[in-house]
Every structure is written in structure tokens, then in C-alpha cells.
Structure 1
């Protein structure tokens, strides 16, 4: 059986979001955490779980906006560090809101990809430097999500906040 690019990308996004596969999902990785746990970090050289979530919100929303044409691709350059910033007051309500915002980005991205014509996935990302079809950009976004979800899971395990 062969799968289309769209089906594979939707499967990858689901695995990152909430469809348990080979690694814990985002939903599972943050379940039960409070704001105090979400901002904990061993030292200034490491990111907290909330910082990782902020970073994932930034990039998932950014690529969603590129895909639907709300924004045009512009490289971020050396400013990636700012994507980890927490701009809200640290409390449980804002932490829950951040987690829901990333979930919403996953859901919207999955929906717009499902609704898009297959030909869009083969089209080049406008203004991207070099050869980059949409399917490759979204696949790399999924890998990026999986990497940072793994960091969240590792932080939970190191602190004893994981079930496993």
C-alpha cells in the first residue's frame, strides 16, 4: 500500500500532536504539569518546558501562516533565541493557555493540509532561499516538533514527573 505525501504529513503531525506512536505526543508530554513545573530549568543554559512550548508555538504558527498565505517567508537569522521567550505572567492559567495555543496550531495545520490540494505540497515555498517544496518544509517541521517534545519528556523524567 502506498501513501500520499499528504497522508504521511498528516500522520507525522498527528504523532506530534496527540496520536501516540513511537514517541510521546505533545499532549501526553505536558499533561498534568503546572506552571511552576513548566518553568523549571536546571540552569540558564537549558530551556524550560514552557520555553520549549513557546518555541514550538512560534514555529508551528509561523509555518501555518506561511502555508495559508497570511505571511511570506522571511528568515529569522540570529533571532531564534527570542522564540523561547515567555512573555506572559507565570501562572497556571497562562501555562494552560500556552499548551492550548500549541494544540490549536497543530489542529489548524492538520486541517489546512487536509483541505489543501495535493499539488500545493509539491509547490515551492515562496521566497524560501533554495529548493524547498511544502511537503519538505512541513516534514522538517514535524521532525523539529518531535525533537523538542523529546526534550520535554526528558526534562519530565529527570525531575521525576513522568509516569514511566
Structure 2
């Protein structure tokens, strides 16, 4: 793969992670959500929007940490990936989580853009995972839970 093809692939992966292309972006899914609805668990759904946002943050951070280093901490599934329901989340906690999601996407983008990292070669510390696979995992995982956020917002009558 020449540099121009690699750049095209990296740009597509970044666009998929950040924008979603064929679906609502994560940023759009949480934009304008009234603070009082962050922790409400809609009827017949298992999680609040806050829990979904935190799950996206935790899982994405784990994927980025794993992709960047053999020394990343191991999380236990599912306990370490989900937060318990809570009554209220402060603006500071909410904004911190949203900023962390964006910062981790930027960290991963830097890994993808660094030409010393081959996109296809399995990471030496993994079990066959490559940067390409991890990019698709982030995009797929975030898209799945972003859709859940949209559904929750619709049920809470807080969607467009």
C-alpha cells in the first residue's frame, strides 16, 4: 500500500469513528440533552444515557490504551465497563466524560496517522488485533451505543 492509499484509508477510518457517515455521530446524539435526563433510565431499557456515555468512554479508552501499549491495564468484562445507575451527574462529570471521549479519539487518530505503525500487522502484545481491526471496533462499538442513546432520547421525548 503506497502512502496515498494509506492516507485515504486512515481518513476513512477517522471519518467513520468521528462522524459515523451513515448514522448520527456521537456528538450529535448527546448535543442538547437536558441535564435532568442524563441519568433517567427509560422504561424497558436497561441503561441511562449517562451509563451509555460512560460505557463508550471506558470501552474506547481501553481499546486506545491497548492499541498504544503492551502495558495497558486489563479491565474485567463486564463489571469494569459499566457504571452503576445514579440519580444525578454534574455538568463537570458530564463534560469530563465527553472531553475524554474526544481526547481518546484524537489519541487513536494519532496512532493511525503515524506511518511507523502498520495498519494490518497484528499488535505484538495482542492475539491477532491490528490497528485496522481496533479502528473498526471503535467505530462499530460507538455506533451501536450511539444508536441506543438516540433511542433513549426518543423515549424520553428529547430527540429532534
Q: TM-score range by the shorter chain?
A: 0.7 to 0.9
Query: 2:124 maps to what in 1?
Result: 126
Q: SS of the counterpart of 2:145? A: helix
Given that residues 5 and 135 in structure 1 are in contact (C-alpha distance below 8 angstroms), is that contact kept between their aligned partners in structure 2?
Answer: no
| 2:41 is equivalent to residue 41 of structure 1 | yes
Change in 2 beyond 3 A, CA 1:60/1:151: same
Change in 2 beyond 3 A, CA 1:124/1:103: same
**CA shift at 1:4, angstroms?**
4.1
- The whole-number CA distance in structure 2 between the counterparts of 1:64 and 1:9 is 15
Unaligned runs of 5+ in 1: none
Q: SS of the counterpart of 1:99? A: helix
- The whole-number CA distance in structure 2 between the counterparts of 1:37 and 1:10 is 34
Q: How many residues align?
A: 157
Q: Residues 85-96 of structure 1 correspond to what in structure 2 (within 5 A)?
A: 85=83, 90-96=89-95
Give the TM-score of the pair, scaled to structure 1.
0.78
Given that residues 57 and 101 in structure 2 are in contact (C-alpha distance below 8 angstroms), is that contact kept between their aligned partners in structure 1?
Answer: yes
**CA shift at 1:86, angstroms?**
5.8
Change in 2 beyond 3 A, CA 1:4/1:144: farther
- The whole-number CA distance in structure 2 between the counterparts of 1:138 and 1:15 is 9
Give the TM-score of the pair, scaled to structure 2.
0.79
What is the root-mean-square deviation of aligned Cα atoms in Å? 2.9
- The whole-number CA distance in structure 2 between the counterparts of 1:68 and 1:27 is 24
Unaligned runs of 5+ in 2: none
Change in 2 beyond 3 A, CA 1:107/1:47: same
Following TM superposition, the consecutive aligned residue runs of length 4 or more in structure 1 with deviations greater than 3 angstroms are: 3-10, 86-89
Larger relative helix fraction: 1
- The whole-number CA distance in structure 2 between the counterparts of 1:9 and 1:40 is 37
Query: 1:158 maps to what in 2?
Result: 155
